[in-house]
Amino acid sequence: MQTRRIRTLHTIIIFLIIVTIISLTFAGTMGILYMQKVEEVSQFRGEQEFVFTDQTLPVLSVDVENSASDNQEPGMPNQDLPISTEVSGVATAGEDNLRDADAATIAALMQSKEAEVEQSIKERMKALVTGEDGSPLKMLRSFFPENLIYSFEEEYVFAPVLEGVNKHNLLAENFQKTEEGLMQYVENGTVISHKGIDVSKYQGNIDWAAVKEEGIEYAFIRLGLRGYESGKLVLDEFYDANMKGANNAGVGAGVYFFTQAITVEEAQEEAAFVIQNLANYQVSCPIVFDVERISGGEGRADQLTQEQRTDITIAFCEAIKAAGYTPMIYGNVVCFTRLLDMTRLNDYEKWYAFYDDYMYMPYDVSCWQYTEKGRVDGIGNHVDLNISFKTW
């Protein structure tokens, strides 16, 4: 009787051991499968994050016609990423089927999310292009903030934003346009920008008292230019009248000179010409070196290298500074990315020309020319409108 009880007890103990071993084995197997699946999903998410965040783009040019008709953005990576379903271990055939089903479910979920992201991108692109002020350029600029993008000679150019150039701290949301179409920069409900214009012979006779009454604080007046074919130095025929009119009306005056210098010596000659013609007037605003290219023609300075043009610009600015005036450089996005080496020009103020409702320029600028079609009392023709972020 005692022997039978012992045998029964041994049988129960062996049965419990077997059940325990089976349970531990099953639990271990399921744990291994779970950890492998978590690792696979984490790896996939990491790859997805890399795809969506790593969009650093070098300088490149893309044909305008091809870019405008192609729905895929330049530099966008392929997002059709495979999911690995291999696992090692001691799973049974039933567990293999379960694992395959889980992988298929995860893949379907990821594809669904990719489709949502793709649709979201398409909707954003459509909104940017078809909006009231939309354009392919504005769309590209929104997607590639690390580049300055512009159209040049039938190509879209992606120029990197240079680390060695001083940046401004202006906020896009602080730029506001009035009901009259005038741009202003507002901080904490206060307008801190200053209204200005720039004029030349093309504005004709100006009633400067009316301009002052309009609230114009300063004016950049064209002093002259160098002929883009002849190379001759020419004084603007309305320069004297405009300077006297601005001075008498109490409008702050600065001047600008359109350069076609092709050597440092010619730039110094231009500076001397400008300084000579400032003597009889009150000049409270900067003296501006206009380096833009000739529109619709071939200028004598068109073939300059970036280094040569930058040397010429520095020579002019240094001569102006030595004479006791504040030098400033005028240009658009092409000038500030292609024509000039901006890393060498941090010491000089910038006047930026960009005609739109937003100021597309990360570099530090003192003044923004935002339209060439402004209207001001006292001026019969269209006039360039500016806002500055400082006074002189």
Nearest to 85 by CA among 75, 96, 76: 96
115 shares its domain with 250: no
Q: Which segments within 49-189 are labelled E, that is strand?
A: 60-63, 147-151, 155-160, 175-177, 183-187
User: What is residue 167's DSSP assignment?
Assistant: B
User: Is residue 156 assigned to a domain?
Assistant: no
If asked whether residues 307 and 248 sit together in one domain, one would say yes
> Is 25 domain-assigned?
yes
330-369 tens-digit pLDDT: 999 999 999 999 999 999 999 999 999 999 999 999 999 9
Eight-state DSSP code of residue 63: E
* Structural domains counted in the chain: 2
- The pLDDT value recorded for residue 29 is 59
Closest CA to 193 of 4, 20, 6, 359: 359
- Domain contains 71: no
Same domain (yes/no): 116, 232: no
Q: What is the pLDDT of residues 143-153, one digit of tens each?
A: 899 999 998 88
Whether 335 maps to a domain, the answer reads: yes
Q: Are 233 and 258 in contact (CB under 8 A)?
A: no
Q: Are residues 124 and 236 in the same domain?
A: no
Q: Are residues 260 and 357 in the same domain?
A: yes
Confirm whether 250 is domain-assigned: yes
Find the CATH number of the domain harbouring 340.
3.20.20.80
| Residues 329 and 384 both lie in one domain | yes
Q: Report pTM.
A: 0.69
What is the Cα–Cα distance from 101 to 103, expressed in whole angstroms? 5
Query: pLDDT tens digits for the chain (392 residues)?
Result: 444 454 555 556 566 666 566 666 665 656 655 565 556 555 545 544 444 444 443 444 444 333 333 333 333 333 343 334 443 444 455 556 666 667 788 878 878 777 777 777 666 655 655 544 557 788 889 889 999 999 888 888 999 999 999 999 999 999 999 999 999 999 999 999 999 999 999 999 999 999 999 999 999 999 999 999 999 999 999 999 999 999 999 999 999 999 999 999 999 999 999 999 999 999 999 999 999 988 776 899 999 999 999 999 999 999 999 999 999 999 999 999 999 999 999 999 999 999 999 999 999 999 999 999 999 999 999 999 999 999 99
Smallest Cα–Cα separation from 216: which of 252, 255, 175, 243?
252
> How many whole angstroms separate alpha carbon 129 and alpha carbon 109?
30
- For residue 165, is it within any domain? no
The answer to whether residue 360 sits within a structural domain is yes
Statement to judge: residues 31 and 180 lie in one domain: no
Indicate whether 289 and 340 sit together in one domain: yes
User: Same domain, yes or no, for 337 and 246?
Assistant: yes
- Regarding whether 193 and 89 lie in a shared domain, the answer is no
The amino acid that residue 201 corresponds to is K
306/374 same-domain check: yes
The burial of 284, by beta-carbon neighbours within 10 Å (0-12 exposed, 13-18 middle, 19 or more buried), is given as middle
Same domain? 235 vs 343: yes
Q: What is the pLDDT of residue 118?
A: 72
Q: Is residue 176 a part of any domain in this protein?
A: yes
pLDDT at residue 79 in the model = 37
For residue 255, give its domain range.
Answer: 170-388
